[in-house]
Amino acid sequence: MKFLDLAKVYIRSGAGGNGAISFRREKYIEYGGPDGGNGGRGGDVVVEAVEGLNTLIDFRYQQHFFAKNGQGGMGRQRTGKDGDDIVLRVPVGTEILDEDEETVIADLTEVGQRIVLAQGGNGGFGNLHFKSSTNQAPRRANPGQPGVERTIWLRLKLIADVGLLGLPNAGKSTFLAATSNARPKIADYPFTTLVPNLGVVGVDGAEFVVADIPGLIEGAHEGRGIGDRFLGHVERCGALLHLVDGTSDDVVADYRTVITELEEYGGGLAEKPRLTVLNKIDAVDDVEQKVHYLSAACGAKVMRMSGVSGEGVTEVLRSLRAMIRPDTSSEEEDGPWSPV
């Protein structure tokens, strides 16, 4: 299934049915009187967060959603049938934005949340409604109210426990593939990850969700590269795992590049709990020296691991679990890592 996290859709609620003008006509009944019924109500346009979806790809092939109109009223005091609602089923974590793509209408963060985006029009009154002691034969009825038509944007922000950050080729996809059943694309050139990938990671009987975000480059907050398009997914993560390529000539510069992009992007990303890890230590000779430089730059303890050989991976997972679930302790660790 292809990944899509932004979609533009057009919606219209149903119009209400018109009221009826009708009079009772029966043999031997001299004064039948009015019996026109009311029109039915138009259907609503509803959006609902459901399980089993993690992309908005369905809205690429259908962008128009129109609810049914209400049926008109009829004689013999019969009310028209209400129009059927139409439901847009979206993944959990979807934001509903107005046409300006900035105003947030709703944020669906739980399964089963339902929001009415456009209410159907009310049905018009039939002439029976206007009968009174002074107007016993009204010849008027109301038309139904029109439906609401609007354009909205659906923006998906994946809900994960941990978000993977780093420059292109920092080893994020390799880490996700080594620790979960996810199978992201892995290659020896930059930007092999073009869309976020989700994987369920387990350690010591506990499981949590990890999101692999496309790599950031300098100037990403200004639109360079593709990583800035997906930083919104990191906003919902409980903690961040920042992988630094140990084979780089300047690990400190690589670290600061990503941190700068987080700070420039805003949204509180730079303040989230973060674990910094020197990756690819199986291909590095001066590991201790690079760990020392990196620790001095970030002001916190830096872990080391190799996603290829598996060295240090379990320790990193235990530290992440402690960060996202502070009430969980493990004998293998000295304590939870402090956010930087």
Identify whether the C-beta of residue 101 lies closer than 8 Å to the C-beta of residue 70.
Answer: no
Token pair of 76 as six digits: 């013999």
Is 308 annotated as belonging to a binding site?
yes
Is 143 annotated as belonging to a binding site?
no
Is 166 annotated as belonging to a binding site?
yes
Is 336 annotated as belonging to a binding site?
no
Is 82 annotated as belonging to a binding site?
no
Is 146 annotated as belonging to a binding site?
no
Other CB atoms within 10 A of residue 7 CB = 20
Is 167 annotated as belonging to a binding site?
yes
Is 299 annotated as belonging to a binding site?
no
Residue 210 CB burial class (10 angstroms; 0-12, 13-18, ≥19): buried
Is 195 annotated as belonging to a binding site?
yes
Which own/partner contact pairs does 263-268 have at CB distance under 8 Å and 24+ positions apart?
Answer: 264/221, 264/222, 265/220, 265/221, 265/228, 265/231, 267/231, 267/232, 267/235, 268/235
Is 204 annotated as belonging to a binding site?
no
Is 282 annotated as belonging to a binding site?
yes
Is 212 annotated as belonging to a binding site?
yes
Please name the residue ranges forming H helices in 74-209. Answer: 172-179
Is 191 annotated as belonging to a binding site?
yes
Is 187 annotated as belonging to a binding site?
no
Is 307 annotated as belonging to a binding site?
yes
Which own/partner contact pairs does 331-338 have at CB distance under 8 Å and 24+ positions apart?
Answer: 332/204, 337/273, 337/275, 337/300, 337/301, 338/300
Is 194 annotated as belonging to a binding site?
yes
Numbered residues of the known binding site for Mg(2+)? 173, 193
| Binding site feature residues for GTP | 166-173, 191-195, 212-215, 279-282, 306-308
Q: Could you list the residues known to form a binding site, using ranges.
A: 166-173, 191-195, 212-215, 279-282, 306-308
